[in-house]
């Protein structure tokens, strides 16, 4: 008897802009789900990151807003491109009975394409989608005729129960956290309670070697990200995280986190990144984790993302001593007016003080900034540009405000008339030149201002990237090799870029 098989897919997104502008990592969602299937069912599982390319180049915000966006649009209307041919080949090679697709609002059009290809390959294939998008919009995902089932909230336990029911050809009505069709009607089951014991989940990398397509082509650092918590207590206006993880923060035990880190270190990984929505919500937790990292993982370098309100000198010093070398800080705007509308809970003055604290402790600072909020004006965009300079971060992660379906931000834009029934989610994402959700700025003026911001940040990030590569030590070595004139010209170029 042939073993039943599920293919878990991270859909392509960046590769629609350019095939080599990919996501070179192992998605944690695939890792957690493959572990759940391997350990909780008798199904065979294959994981496939369709947004991965062995040859990967850095994302460029100016390219994504220009020629890349046109390529993206072409790939959304035609399944003949290279990446779609690859998706089709992988599906036809494995011939799964079930295809499960990780789904965010920004890549939902790509999810529909993958689902369509799966049904073309075999109409009997059951297509399940999970992740942030079905968690926010519920039964709306079923409006795509190629999608059979949606999973809301955490997916590990739900997917195991779904596969058991599908294997028995049983009803789905008793499975919490799913939406599905029955006799042409959309059915929404009650929500599933959050997983209390996160230590019960397998490590995301544990089965990668045996289940991940093209495992050997992945760089080692593709497996260097971990979660130590789930949930975020903050209530930002634009964020949809609470619909997936909830606002109550659940922690893995420190011992369990260290076991995963040491398992990664045994593979040769020396740097890890905590993917927690907000690292260090509890000061007691930070101290105990940092003490354990210093004692149990000597020489480890690690990074994380923090909320401005959690930064103080004592905590940052503790983190630095345990190996923290980089912190991503969500500042978002340089305007107190916009920060208040976003419900960030801090002022720009406090954000810049947090940035200084991080830099003063010798930790690399990466900052998130976003423009284009409904209340945005030319003046507030100018405030943000000044804040970017004042923060003096080593890299800026730039976004344009995007109201994703099912979120509070989306409802606000709908009520103010900026979104109507013709809204097409495929046109909008954090780097889309089509984004325009600012009440007081015309589309043309906003695009002009956004272009200025994008070019400024692109030049700034490029210079900083080159400086990191060509450190003082490297430049000194080049001078020793007699390349002084070339070095001078290169440095002059960077200063003028």
Domain assignment present for residue 480? The answer is: no
Q: Quick one: 182 and 264 in the same domain?
A: no
Q: Quick one: 174 and 243 in the same domain?
A: no
Per the structure, the count of domains in the chain is 2
* pLDDT computed for residue 173 by the predictor: 93
Q: Which domain holds residue 382?
A: 224-441
Domain assignment present for residue 309? The answer is: yes
End of a domain among 395, 422, 441? 441
Q: Is the pLDDT of residue 494 over 50?
A: no
What's 133's domain CATH number?
3.40.50.2300
Mean pLDDT of 272-299: 90
* pLDDT computed for residue 308 by the predictor: 94
Mean pLDDT of 350-364: 96
Q: Is the pLDDT of residue 229 over 60?
A: yes
Domain assignment present for residue 124? The answer is: yes
Q: Quick one: 121 and 253 in the same domain?
A: no
Q: What is the mean pLDDT of the chain?
A: 90
Q: Is the pLDDT of residue 495 over 50?
A: no
Q: Is the pLDDT of residue 283 over 90?
A: no
* For the chain, percent of residues with pLDDT exceeding 70: 91
Domain assignment present for residue 314? The answer is: yes
Question: What would the pLDDT profile of 231-273 be if each residue is shown by its tens digit?
Answer: 876 677 776 666 666 667 889 999 999 999 999 999 999 999 9
Q: Quick one: 147 and 230 in the same domain?
A: no
Domain assignment present for residue 479? The answer is: no
Q: Is the pLDDT of residue 363 over 50?
A: yes
pTM higher than 0.85, yes or no? yes
Q: Quick one: 184 and 228 in the same domain?
A: no
* pLDDT computed for residue 48 by the predictor: 97
Q: Quick one: 177 and 232 in the same domain?
A: no
Which of 30-39, 400-409, 423-432 has the highest mean predicted lDDT (pLDDT)? 30-39
Domain assignment present for residue 464? The answer is: no
Q: Is the pLDDT of residue 497 over 50?
A: no
Domain assignment present for residue 101? The answer is: yes
Domain assignment present for residue 70? The answer is: yes
Q: Quick one: 99 and 19 in the same domain?
A: yes
Banded pLDDT at 46 (limits 50, 70, 90): very high
Question: What would the pLDDT profile of 253-264 be if each residue is shown by its tens digit?
Answer: 999 999 999 999
Question: What would the pLDDT profile of 341-351 be if each residue is shown by its tens digit?
Answer: 988 899 999 99
Q: Give every CB contact of residue 313 below 8 A, 6+ residues apart in sequence.
A: 357, 360, 361
Q: Quick one: 229 and 182 in the same domain?
A: no
What's 389's domain CATH number?
3.20.20.70
Q: Is the pLDDT of residue 474 over 60?
A: no
Q: Quick one: 126 and 257 in the same domain?
A: no
Q: Is the pLDDT of residue 470 over 90?
A: no
Q: Quick one: 285 and 358 in the same domain?
A: yes
Mean pLDDT of 177-184: 94
End of a domain among 188, 215, 240? 188
Q: Quick one: 182 and 228 in the same domain?
A: no
End of a domain among 188, 204, 232? 188
Q: Quick one: 59 and 119 in the same domain?
A: yes
Q: Is the pLDDT of residue 188 over 90?
A: yes
* pLDDT computed for residue 493 by the predictor: 45
* pLDDT computed for residue 480 by the predictor: 56
């Amino acid at each position: 008897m042939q073993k039943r098989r599920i293919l878990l897919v991270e859909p392509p997104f960046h590769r629609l802009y350019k095939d080599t502008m990919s996501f070179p990592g192992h998605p944690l969602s695939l890792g957690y789900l493959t572990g759940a299937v391997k350990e909780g069912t008798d199904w065979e599982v294959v994981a496939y990151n369709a947004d991965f390319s062995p040859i990967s180049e850095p994302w460029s915000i100016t390219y994504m807003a220009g020629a890349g966006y046109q390529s993206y649009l072409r790939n959304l209307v035609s399944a003949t491109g290279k990446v779609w041919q690859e998706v089709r080949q992988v599906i036809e090679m494995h011939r799964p009975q079930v295809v499960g697709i990780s789904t965010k609002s920004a890549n939902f059009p790509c999810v529909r394409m993958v689902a369509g290809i799966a049904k073309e390959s075999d109409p009997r294939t059951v297509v399940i989608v999970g992740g942030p998008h079905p968690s926010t919009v519920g039964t709306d995902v079923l409006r795509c005729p190629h999608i059979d089932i949606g999973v809301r909230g955490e997916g590990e336990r739900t997917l195991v129960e779904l596969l058991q029911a599908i294997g028995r050809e049983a009803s789905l009505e008793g499975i919490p956290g799913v939406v599905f069709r029955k006799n042409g009607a959309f059915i929404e089951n009650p929500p599933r309670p959050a997983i209390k014991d996160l230590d019960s989940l397998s490590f995301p990398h544990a089965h990668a070697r045996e289940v991940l397509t093209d495992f050997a082509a992945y760089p080692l650092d593709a497996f260097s990200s971990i979660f130590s918590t789930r949930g975020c207590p903050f209530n930002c206006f634009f964020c949809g995280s609470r619909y997936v993880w909830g606002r109550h923060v659940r922690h893995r035990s420190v011992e369990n986190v260290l076991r995963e880190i040491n398992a990664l270190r045994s593979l040769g990984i020396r740097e890890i990144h905590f993917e927690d929505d907000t690292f260090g919500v509890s000061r007691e937790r930070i101290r105990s984790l940092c003490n354990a990292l210093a004692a149990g993982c000597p020489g480890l370098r690690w990074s994380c993302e923090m909320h401005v309100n959690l930064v103080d000198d004592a905590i940052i010093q503790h983190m630095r001593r345990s190996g923290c070398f980089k912190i991503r800080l969500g500042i978002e705007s340089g305007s107190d007016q916009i920060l208040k509308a976003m419900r960030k809970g801090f002022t720009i003055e406090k954000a810049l003080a947090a940035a200084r604290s991080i830099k003063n402790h010798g930790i690399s600072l990466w900052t998130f900034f976003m423009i284009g909020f409904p209340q945005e004006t030319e003046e507030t965009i100018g405030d943000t540009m000044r804040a970017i300079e004042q923060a003096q971060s080593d890299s800026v992660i730039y976004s344009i405000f995007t109201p994703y379906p099912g979120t509070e931000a989306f409802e606000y834009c709908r009520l103010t008339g900026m979104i109507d029934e013709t809204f097409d989610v495929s046109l909008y994402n954090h780097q889309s030149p089509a984004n325009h959700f600012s009440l007081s700025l015309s589309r043309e003026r906003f695009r002009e201002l956004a272009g200025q911001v994008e070019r400024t940040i692109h030049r700034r990030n490029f210079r900083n990237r080159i400086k990191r590569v060509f450190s003082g030590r490297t430049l000194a070595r080049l001078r020793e090799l007699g390349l002084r004139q070339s070095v001078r010209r290169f440095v002059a170029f960077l200063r003028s870029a």
